[in-house]
Amino acid sequence: MDEHSEPRPPARRPVGGELIIPIAAVAFTLYYFTTIIDSPWEAQVNAFFVGSILIMLVAILLIRLGRELIAGEANLRLGELIQPIAVAPKRLLVLLLAIGYVTVLDWLGFTLTTFAFLAAAMLVLSNGRRPGFVLGLAAALALGGYLLFMVAFQTRFPAGPVEWLLGSAL
C-alpha cells in the first residue's frame, strides 16, 4: 500500500453459517419439550434442565453475534459454509437424509430410523470408508438412544419393529 491510497476497511466476518446449528438445536429442544409431557417428572426435569442450558448458551451466542453485526464486524452471509463447492453434494445428501429421517420416523420407529440415518450419513461423509465400523457405531448409538430415551426416560418416540421386539424381550 502506498502513501496515497486509503486504507481498506476490515472485511466483515460471515456469521450466517454459525447460526444454523444453534437455531436447529433450539427448534429440536422445543420440539423435545413437547414430547416429554406424559413422561415421568424426573425425565421432564432433566429435559428442562438440559434444554434450558442449551437455550441459554444459544442466547449468549446470539447476543455476541448481534454485537458483531451492530458494530459492523460481521454479516449474515454463509461464508465458508458453502465452500468448497465440491462438498455441496454431500451436504445436500445429508440434508435429504435428515428430511427422510423425519418423514419415515413414524413408520419405522425411533431406533431403526436412527440407525439408518446415522449409518447412511456417516457412510456419505466418510466416502464409504470402514463400513463395518460405521454400521457398528450406528447400531450402538441407536440402541443407546432407545435405552436412554424410550426405556429410561419413557419418551413417547414413535415405536417400530425394533421397539416392539425389544419391548417384548425386556
Residue (of 91, 70, 68, 86) closest to 20 by Cα position:
91
Of the chain, the percentage scoring pLDDT greater than 90 comes to: 54
Identity of the amino acid at 107: W
pLDDT surpassing 60 at residue 1 = no
Q: Among 36-40, 48-52, 115-119, 166-170, where is mean pLDDT lowest?
A: 166-170
**Interatomic CA distance for residues 116 and 120, integer angstroms:** 6
pLDDT at 22: 94
Name beta bridge partners: 75: 14
CA distances from 103 to 25, 51, 96, 114, 119 (A): 19, 24, 10, 12, 17
**3-class secondary-structure state, position 11:** coil
State the DSSP code for 38: T
pLDDT at 4: 62
pLDDT band at 154 (very low <50, low <70, confident <90, very high): confident
State the DSSP code for 18: H
Round the average pLDDT of the chain to a whole number and report it.
89
Global pTM reads 0.60
